[in-house]
Each structure stands twice: as C-alpha cells, then as structure tokens.
Amino acid sequence: MSIVRVIGAGLAGCEAAYALAVQGHEVLLYEQKPVRFSPAHHSEQFAELVCSNSFKAARIESAAGLMKEEMRRLGSLCLEVADTCAVPAGGALAVDRKLFSERMTQRILQTKGITLIREEFTDLDDSMPTIVATGPLTEGKLAEKLSAFTGGKSLYFFDAAAPIVSAESLDYSKLFCQSRYDRGGDDYWNAPFDKAGYEAFYNELINAEVAELHGFEKDQPVYEGCMPIEKLAKRGLDAARYGPMKPVGLRNPMTGHRPWAAVQLRKEDAEGSMFNLVGFQTNLKFGEQKRVFSMIPGLEHAEFVRYGVMHRNSFLDAPKVLDGSLRLCGTHQIYIAGQLSGVEGYMESAAGGILAARFLNSRLCGREPVKLPVETMLGSLMHYLGTENRDFQPMGANMGILSPVGEIKDKKERYRAYAERALTALDEWLEKE
C-alpha cells in the first residue's frame, strides 16, 4: 500500500485519514495546532467545532438526516463518535463539543497506520498522494501554494458563530422547555417575546455597534446559512421572527398561546452547563452583545461563556479547479476535502473527507473512481461542485439539489421517496465500487 499525506485534522481530515488507514495505507496526518492556531480555533484537539454543536436533523426524511445515513453506510468515524456524546436536541443530532473533539482525537491516535505530525504544512507539491483538508480558514504559505495551483481561482465569504451562555446564570422562571412541534421532547429552552418586547429588542439589535472589518474585507459576502442576526434583522421587522426567532410549533405554558417570537437555547455539553443561542450568529462588539442579548427574557443576567465572532471562510471555485473526484485539476495526486472544496456544513465537510479518501484509494489501487449516483445526497453535492456556475457559492445538503422523484404532493411522502431512492442507489454503488 501507499504513503499518503492528509493535511489538517478537522472533520474532513480525520475522516480521510481514518478511511485511508482502514484501507491499509500509511497516513502522515499533519496538524498545525498547537504550533499555530487559526483565529477561530482554541483547542489542541482534533475535529474542533467552532460554530454550532449541532449536526442538524437526524430523521432520514430530511436532507441532513439522509446525508448522515449515507455517511454511516460509508463508514463515517465522525458519526460513530457523535453517537457516543450526543446531547438532547429535539430532532437534531447535537454533541458535547469538548467530548466530541476529545474522542475524535483519541480514535485517530489509536488507529493503526496514522502517524501524527504536529507542524504547519506549507510546501505543497504533487510528489505524493495528498488530501488537503485545512478548512475554510486556510491561510499563509499553503493558501499561496493552492492559489498558484489554481491560477488564483479561489473565493471566500464571511461566516459567524453564535454566543454561548452559562446555564446557572439564566432566569428559568421566564423560560419554558419545548422542542418545536414536540419533536424530541423538551430538548430546548425557549425565551418568549411578546410583541412590544420583540420590537424593543429589534430596535436595539439593528442599531447596535458591529465589530469593524478591515480594508477590502468590508464589502465581502456573508454566507446566507450563517447570516449574523443583526444583518438579518436589518432586512425588516419580521425577518428574524420568520427566521431563527420563529415561534411556530411552540406554545408558552405561561400564557397558553404561541409567543410573538422566541429565542431557542440548546445544550452545549452533556451536563447542560452551557447553552448556545440558536441562530444568533453575530458580529456585534462584545459589549453590545452583552447589552442587547441581555434583553432576551431570562437572559437579563446571563454570563457569556463565549461571545459570537465573525471570520473569513475561504473556498475554491470547485467547478473550475476540481474534477469529479475532488482532485485538483492539473495535478495527479492532490485532492481537496471539506469546506475548502465548496461544501458548507460540518457533516458535508466530513463527508468530503470520506469521499476524497475513497476516490484516492481507488486510484492507488489502479482503478478509476466510480461516480456516486446523483440520486444520493452526496452524489448530488458532488454534481453541484462539478457544475459550471458563474457565481459559485458553498452548498450544503438540501432536497432542492436532488432530481425530481415524481409527482408526490405530500411533502413528507415525497421526502421519504427521495430517501428510499437514494439509499437504494447508494447500496448498489457500494456493491460495484
């Protein structure tokens, strides 16, 4: 078998290194932490989650759930570990982020065939089979090397993370427990607003001071899926109320009615000692976050364990620079995995690591990779990455990228049909691969 380099021990890098080692290859896994940390990373552990601790919906009739089931059938290490440190999150799969990273690190270090090299990797060349999984914050000499390989065809957008508050600092007399539509039990705490309270909060939110972005960064695009709450709110009075603050599926037991708007709080750890403000990604100054978010009912005296932050995310213009197997065009042995390839989301990134490893393994074994069927969620994502697009932007799993399954009017039935078709196609692909 071959010696292979994997650059980066995030979600995609860990999946790629593990998949290649299981196939019998010798893997040199490069990780720059703790020699160097990116602006968003703080832990020495692998697979660090820097934004939400949620891997999205678990039910198979959802886009995220279908993708995760496909990943499980491809041997996903991330999902195997996630199941051991899950925290209540309604119909979603969420994890204790610290425990998840610790267990991912332990599994990788215990896997035969993986050699860890803790140093910043900068000298990229085409002399050895390599998977670059350095994530959306790739910078420095490695970014320059990638830019040279791609002829400068790289893009970027801005991403944001939500604040986290301590559980003991909340006023639970003003909160109530319920998941939307009672999916998953009482896994979320809800902070309900009445109309007057919401409008007062809204006015302070849209007028709060944001952290300054410098130079050419000021007018760059923000990814729609991680829109800062203050930027979303400026689209109109009800924009947030129809977004992360939507009250649908909730009933406030203190009034017997649906609240005018609601902020949901999700556990950050298994003990429930910290909560994430769901959908409250932000670029407000830290002092303004404290002032404005303390207007949320029950958070008047909240202790902010982590304030929200905003950072630049880089990605490649995949249709122009990657082939159908995630290989960098013009190279023989360089593959790109994770968010750098143009997918968006934790599990999408992890899936990219699995797929890059499988494609590379096929070539190392002397055969051409077999494309994933487009009926699968992962196959559709791969198809998106390879389809010419004048304004290419990162894409996450969604039912809209799947080909029609026929005229099924009932949404639940239609999504179930998508899932059944996808898993049948994937199983057939696995038999041929």
Summarize pLDDT for 250-291 with one digit per residue, the tens.
999 999 999 999 999 998 877 788 899 999 999 999 999 999
CA nearest neighbour of 397 among 154, 60, 52:
60
Tens of pLDDT, residue by residue over 21-35, are: 999 999 999 999 887
Cα of first residue to Cα of last residue in the chain, in angstroms, is 18
Do both 219 and 278 map to the same domain?
yes
pLDDT at 220: 53
Do both 141 and 189 map to the same domain?
no
Distance, in Å, from the CA atom of 178 to the CA atom of 182, rounded to the nearest integer, reads 6
- If phi > 0 it is left, if psi is from -120 to 50 it is alpha, else beta; for residue 406 that is left
Q: Which domain holds residue 27?
A: 3-157+313-432
Do both 318 and 291 map to the same domain?
no
pLDDT at 237: 96
Do both 109 and 27 map to the same domain?
yes
Q: Which residues, given as ranges, of the chain have pLDDT below 50? A: 214-218
Residue 295 sits in a domain of what CATH number?
Answer: 2.40.30
H/E element, 103: helix 97-110
pLDDT at 386: 92
Do both 134 and 18 map to the same domain?
yes
CA nearest neighbour of 226 among 292, 290, 289, 157:
157
Do both 282 and 324 map to the same domain?
no
Looking at the structure of the chain, the number of domains it has is 2
Do 21 and 111 contact (CB within 8 A), yes or no? yes
Q: Which two tokens stand for residue 269?
A: 């750890």
Do 104 and 111 contact (CB within 8 A), yes or no? no
Distance, in Å, from the CA atom of 268 to the CA atom of 110, rounded to the nearest integer, reads 26
Do both 170 and 124 map to the same domain?
no
Q: Which of 285, 308, 331 is a domain's end point?
A: 308
% helix / strand / coil in the chain, to the nearest 5?
Answer: 35, 20, 45
Do both 10 and 144 map to the same domain?
yes
Do both 342 and 292 map to the same domain?
no
Do both 414 and 318 map to the same domain?
yes
Q: Which of 255, 280, 308 is a domain's end point?
A: 308
pLDDT at 39: 66
Distance, CA of 183 to chain centre: 22
Beta strands in 111-202 (DSSP E): 114-117, 130-132, 154-160, 164-166, 176-177, 188-193
**pTM, rounded to two decimals:** 0.76
CA nearest neighbour of 350 among 118, 95, 1:
95
Do both 8 and 124 map to the same domain?
yes
Residue 148 sits in a domain of what CATH number?
Answer: 3.50.50.60
H/E element, 355: helix 346-364
Q: Which of 274, 308, 342 is a domain's end point?
A: 308
Do 238 and 333 contact (CB within 8 A), yes or no? no
DSSP secondary structure code for residue 162 in this structure = -
Do both 328 and 372 map to the same domain?
yes
Distance, in Å, from the CA atom of 4 to the CA atom of 201, rounded to the nearest integer, reads 53
Distance, CA of 288 to chain centre: 26
Distance, in Å, from the CA atom of 50 to the CA atom of 43, rounded to the nearest integer, reads 10
